[in-house]
Amino acid sequence: MAATRLADLGEFGLIGRIRERFRAPEGVTGIGDDCAVIPQRSGSDTLVSTDMLIEGTHFLRADIPPYALGWKSAAVNISDIAAMGGSPTATFLSVALPAGLEAGWMEAFLRGYAELSERFGAALLGGDTTASPDRICINVAVLGECPSGSARLRSAAREGDLVCVTGCLGDSAAGLKAILEGVERDADVQALIDRHYLPLPRVEEGLRLAATPGVHAMMDISDGIGSDLGHILSASSGGWAAAAGAGKRPRSAAEMPRQQHPAALGAKIDPAKLPLSEELRRVCARFGWDAAALAAGGGEDYELLFTCTPEAEQALDVPHFVIGEMTEQGGLRGLEGLSGFDHFRKS
């Protein structure tokens, strides 16, 4: 029997299938109207984030199973809610698909998307389905909530804070490397590939961290710890570094915008403290890969990166690793030569 193609199913047939798969919670108007309608609760803040995944930039269709791509599309967005210390509530999925794509591909994609998002209580409440001339394009927008004023911002780091992560780093980057190099998939390699394909957002950890006084800045590790920690430094230093790419980094203190943290904060990371999984150590030893470089520069771990006072760290009931500290001296030290990921500068 020939596989169903999207051209046969039609746009509304596809929407109908998505709608059958995802039901809106009681009282919420989900898929099927111009907008979703979400009654608000007072006393809480709404969190929103969105991420786009493009075939050929973020994934290769021949490599990633559609189930994993669906899972990951939801996971990377829900991870952004976790990074604020919030609870995900709803997602909105846009997909542009080539007309010749097998419908089974999309079924598997939706299965992975649903399993991850249901695990974290995020309802699919809307989206858009359209045709793409060739590449698959995916965009997810996610909504979440947290008690008013409790969201953990990147700008909240302070001098003397410890820098911590919630789990091992580099597994995802090593998994990607294993996929691209086509190495034989024993149990260790498969574990790394699973970390790359099926990341688990740290929602519960984020909620507990955000409920802990003394936990200051927080974000998820998507681009690599060097690049991501740079965002915390710039945001906590008054935001000047955000314009650095446009050549606007101030040349003197007098040129810097006044903010809560007028001084340029720095951070010192001890590369020996980057937590590495046993699987990563063994695979790197076997293939001669640099585990520290993968851990520091690789990205897509979706662990939480946060800063907190030493007192708060002592009392934390969330598994974590201290990897460095925030310093008065500006700049990021300890990760020299290892950098994060810039989509437009990829070589």
Q: If binding is defined by CB under 8 A, does position 34 make contact with its own copies?
A: yes
Phi, psi of 254 (to 5 degrees): -65, -25
Verify binding: residue 99, its own copies, rule CB under 8 A: yes
Indicate whether 38 belongs to the interface with its own copies (CB under 8 A): yes
Task: Please tell me whether residue 63 binds its own copies under the rule CB under 8 A.
Answer: no
* 144 near its own copies (CB under 8 A): yes
Q: In the set 33, 253, 254, 337, which binds its own copies (CB under 8 A)?
A: 33
Residue 66 binding its own copies, by CB under 8 A: no
Site for its own copies in 67-86 (CB under 8 A): 80-81, 83-84, 86
**Nearest Cα to Cα of residue 51 among 15, 83, 17:** 83
Q: Whose Cβ is closer to its own copies: residue 35's or residue 285's?
A: 35
Of residues 3, 180, 244, 285, which one binds its own copies by CB under 8 A?
244
Of 22, 24, 47, 198, the one binding its own copies (CB under 8 A) is 47
Minimum distance from CB of 144 to its own copies (Å)?
7
Judged by beta carbon, residue 128 or residue 317, the one nearer its own copies is 128
- Residue closer to its own copies by CB (options 52, 315) is 52
Q: Does 127 bind its own copies (CB under 8 A)?
A: yes
Query: Please, which residues have CB within 8 angstroms of residue 59's CB and are 6 or more apart in sequence?
Result: 53, 69
**309 contributes a contact to its own copies by CB under 8 A:** no
Which residue in 74, 124, 141, 338 binds its own copies (CB under 8 A)?
141
What residues numbered 218-237 form the site for its own copies, per CB under 8 A?
Answer: 219-220, 235
CB-count exposure of residue 164 (10 Å: 0-12, 13-18, 19+): buried
Confirm or reject binding of residue 339 to its own copies (CB under 8 A). no
Long-range CB contacts (within 8 A, 24+) of 158-161:
158/216, 158/236, 158/261, 158/265, 158/307, 158/309, 158/326, 159/263, 159/265, 159/326, 159/327, 159/328, 160/309, 160/310, 160/325, 160/326, 161/216, 161/217, 161/307, 161/308, 161/309, 161/325, 161/326
DSSP per-residue string spanning 68-88: HHHHHHHHHHHHHHHTTT-EE
Pairing between β-strand 123-132 and β-strand 87-98 as defined by DSSP bridges: parallel
Alpha carbons 146 and 265: distance in angstroms, whole number? 27
Q: Closest distance between its own copies and the C-beta of residue 127, in Å? A: 6
**Is there binding between residue 314 and its own copies (CB under 8 A)?**
no
